[in-house]
A and B are shown apart, each in its own frame.
Chain A
Amino acid sequence: MDLKVTIGKTTFENPVWAASGTFGNGDEFQDFLNIGEMGAVVTKTVTLRKKKGNPPPRLVETPSGLLNSIGLENKGIRCFKKEDLPWLKRSGTRAIVSIAGETKEEFVKCAEELTGRHRPDAIELNISCPNVSHRGGKHCLFSQDPVITERIVSAVRRSTGTTLIVKLSPNVTDIGIIAEAAQNGGADAVSLVNTYFGMAVDAEEMRPCLGNVTGGLSGPAIRPMALKAVRDAYNSVSIPVIGVGGIMTGTDVAGFMLCGASAVQAGTVNLVEPAAYKRILREFIAYLKRKKINRAGDLVGKLRI
């Protein structure tokens, strides 16, 4: 069975990856998984300088969902390059480094740090984190503005030859327009969705449940909306779309691929079941066998309508 998928210059052994922010930098999962067998690991987002993150509580569970406001806590890209990236690269998986910045220049500087022996297999631009503020632009998130999206992507594109994936927010009127902007900027793929804006309230205490008041919703609760967003993006661009949003099983993977995803990222499930990856891939392969499909790629966009 052929599970391979190629995005930009990078070939991945299979289309099931771990989503950013739900898998640390991989090492926490070694007790449960052989990281080297994974299609790819997208790291927790790193920024140019270290970030302290948001005040607690940073998490609250909602019906079939998880609301978080971590706030991109990380130790900064130089430290990440020294302490985490070499290990992840040696593990044998494809290392996708998620980067974010408060300005276009910071995105470029981050990408420039990831060169030479620190070059990952791909870079994912997180222009869609719902829990941080940034400078410039009239929108709350970079990825809510097609002009800024294109500007950031093309600036990073000029600074690196590494495969470039752009992570998009679903908190927009028309995700197709934003996906197109990323494509025009020179992205090799778009990944979606990042989390949905949300909040939870403790009515007894008359307070928001999160320390940062609002957060981003993930988990199976958002899967129907994510599937729709993936289909919209797939219908708008010619570059590959990577599906993210509440994947729990191998059939969920198939669902996203039928809607147009070339690969998927499983996220929240990793926090519930640290060995989930193994099960999901096994279930997906069983699905392909059952459907007598020899190439995973043959599933992409084949929704019968």
Chain B
Amino acid sequence: MKPNVTKRMIKGTILANRQIAPEHFVMDIGSAWLARKSRPGQFISVRVMDGVTDPLLRIPLGIHRISETGVSLLYGVVGPGTALLAKRKKGELIDTLGPLGKGFDLSAVTRKKNAEALLVSGGHGVAPLYALAEAVTAKKRKAVFFIGAKTGKHVVCEKALRKLGAAVHVATDDGTRGHKGYVTDMLRKYLERGARDPQRTAIFACGPKPMLAAVAKEAERSGIPAQVAYDEYMACGIGACRGCAVETVQGIKLACKDGPVFAADMIKW
């Protein structure tokens, strides 16, 4: 009766854990299993420390890079759990659970030639979209990346994205880099530049909820399909506790199991 195993709880080796921007950390974890099974948009839940009850729950983190030997997770220090995570050292083992959830559906851009992926990130939302940009460019499809950040110092991955061949547009809240204002303003302007074939264009977004709602609106206005990676408070990560409820047009769905990636027009904004 044992089904094909899609997720596991395993100890990975911390290969690196470093700060890359004022509020961004990246942890590289060595694990052949995670490397083989992970897809952009999925997440991995890590236990900050073994054998302690505080913090109690795992922390779900978006898969930021997938290499041949492991995965990278990008995170921000937003509470006591992530503060402890930032202190974990290279060479230590970390308890991982994953890969979890449904990732981005790449067929939206791979089934047609000359297709274009528009990737829109806000804050730490850059995490899964970088992995997606790698996958999109590996399939020889065009990737246009819109990065939204607090300040110029908070812009990450820009160089690496250009290296992949992605076109990169930056927006910051204070105008210290690129456009001053919302990243979704740039998306709108880009879409207004000319009519696009909805069969050959797809939007992928990850970021704070108001940003995702704005992306959904642009998608609706332009008729271009959008997929959003939706974050909700989570406990188990595997669909058992029903904590991470998302209201959709098809009723309650779970961010951990049915998502975190949803079609933007599925969600009741």
Please give the residue numbers on chain A whose beta carbons come within 8 Å of chain B beta carbons, in ascending order.
21-24, 28-32, 34, 44, 52-53, 56-61, 63-66, 68, 70, 73, 90-91, 219-221, 248, 268, 270-275
Pick the residue among B53, B97, B236, B243 that contacts A219 (CB under 8 A): B53
The listed residue (A28, A57, A66) touching B238 by CB distance below 8 A is A28
Partner of A73, one of B1, B56, B252: B252
Q: What 0/1 readout, one digit per residue, does chain B (65-80) give for beta carbons within 8 Å of chain A?
A: 0000000000000000
Of all chain A residues, which has the CB nearest B45?
A272
CB contacts (< 8 Å) of B9 on chain A: these are: 32, 273-275
What residues on B are CB-neighbors of A34 within 8 Å?
Answer: 2
Q: Which of A28, A57, A273 contacts B239 (CB 8 A)?
A: A28
CB distance from B260 to the nearest CB of A (A): 14
Complex-state Cα separation, A24 to B239, whole angstroms: 7
Provide the bound-state CA to CA distance between A157 and B172, in Å.
Answer: 65
- Shortest CB distance A47–B (Å): 14
In the bound complex, what is the Cα–Cα distance between A103 and B54 (angstroms)? 38
Measured between beta carbons, the chain A residues less than 8 angstroms from B81 are 61
Task: List B contacts of A90 (CB < 8 A).
Answer: 1
Are B233 and A219 neighbours in the complex by a CB distance under 8 Å? no
B contacts with A: majority SS:
loop
Roughly how many angstroms separate A21 CA and B234 CA in the complex, as a whole number?
14
Q: Judge if B179 is at the interface, Cβ distance under 8 Å.
A: no
- Bound CA–CA A59/B56 (angstroms): 13
Closest B residue, CB atoms, query A276: B9
Instruction: Name the interface size band of chain B.
Output: 35 or more
Contact A59 B252 (CB under 8 A): no
Can you add 14 more A-B contacts, CB < 8 Å, to A22-B241, A64-B53?
Answer: A31-B8, A34-B2, A53-B242, A56-B233, A56-B246, A59-B234, A59-B241, A64-B56, A70-B242, A73-B245, A91-B1, A248-B53, A271-B241, A275-B9
B88 at the interface (CB under 8 A from A): no
A220→B53 contact, CB < 8 A: yes
Determine which residue in A44, A56, A275 has the highest number of CB atoms from chain B within 10 A of its CB, and name it: A56
Contact of B3 among A30, A44, A57, A73 (CB under 8 A): A30
- What residues of chain B have their CB less than 8 Å away from a CB belonging to chain A? 1-3, 5-9, 47, 53-58, 81, 97, 232-236, 238-247, 251-252, 257
Contact in complex: A272, B47 (CB < 8 Å): yes
Q: How many Cβ-Cβ contacts under 8 Å join chain A to chain B?
A: 104
Please name the residue on chain B nearest to A73 by beta carbon.
B242
Interface of A is mostly: loop
User: Cβ of B252 and Cβ of A53 under 8 Å apart?
Assistant: yes
B242 touches A44 (CB 8 A): yes
Could you tell me if A31 and B53 are in contact, using CB atoms closer than 8 angstroms?
no
User: With a CB–CB cut-off of 8 A, which chain A residues contact B240?
Assistant: 22-24, 28-29, 44, 270-271
Most chain A beta-carbon neighbours within 10 Å: one of B5, B54, B239: B54
Shortest A297–chain B CB gap in Å is 29
Are A68 and B56 in contact, CB atoms less than 8 angstroms apart?
A: no
Provide 10 A-B residue pairs closer than 8 Å at the C-beta atoms, listed in order of the A residue. Answer: A24-B241, A31-B7, A52-B252, A56-B233, A64-B53, A65-B56, A73-B242, A219-B53, A219-B56, A274-B236
**Could you tell me the distance between the alpha carbons of A24 and B241 in the complex, rounded to whole angstroms?**
6
Most buried by A among B6, B97, B242, B252: B242
Asked whether, in the complex, the Cβ of A61 is within 8 Å of the Cβ of B243, the reply is no
Q: Contacts A30-B2, A31-B5, A248-B53; is A53 near B235 (CB within 8 Å)?
A: no
Bound-state CA distance A73–B81 (Å) is 28
B81, B236, B257 pick with most chain A CB within 10 angstroms:
B236
A70 touching B56, Cβ below 8 Å: no
**Known A-B contacts A53-B252, A219-B53, A272-B58; A59 and B243 likewise in contact (beta carbons under 8 Å):** yes
What separation, in Å, do the CA atoms of A268 and B232 have in the docked complex?
19
A271 and B235 contacting across the interface, CB-CB below 8 Å = yes
Residues on the B chain within 8 Å of A63, using CB: 54
Docked complex Cα distance between A52 and B242 (Å) = 11
A181 vs chain B, min Cβ distance (A)? 30
CA distance in complex: A34, B232 (Å): 29
Interface centre among B97, B232, B245 (most CB of A within 10 A): B245
Residue of B97, B243, B257 most packed against chain A (CB within 10 A): B243
Compute how far the CA of A247 lies from the CA of B3 in the bound complex, rounded to whole angstroms.
Answer: 28
Minimum Cβ distance to chain B for residue A67 (Å)? 10
- A271-B54 in contact given A31-B3, A31-B7, A91-B1 (Cβ < 8 Å): no
Give A61 to B5 CA distance when docked, in angstroms. 29
Instruction: Determine how close the nearest CB of chain A comes to the CB of B148; give it in whole angstroms.
Output: 22
Q: Are A56 and B241 in touch, CB under 8 angstroms?
A: no
Cα–Cα, bound, A90→B1 (Å)? 10
Most chain B CB within 10 A, of A21, A59, A63, A66, is at A59
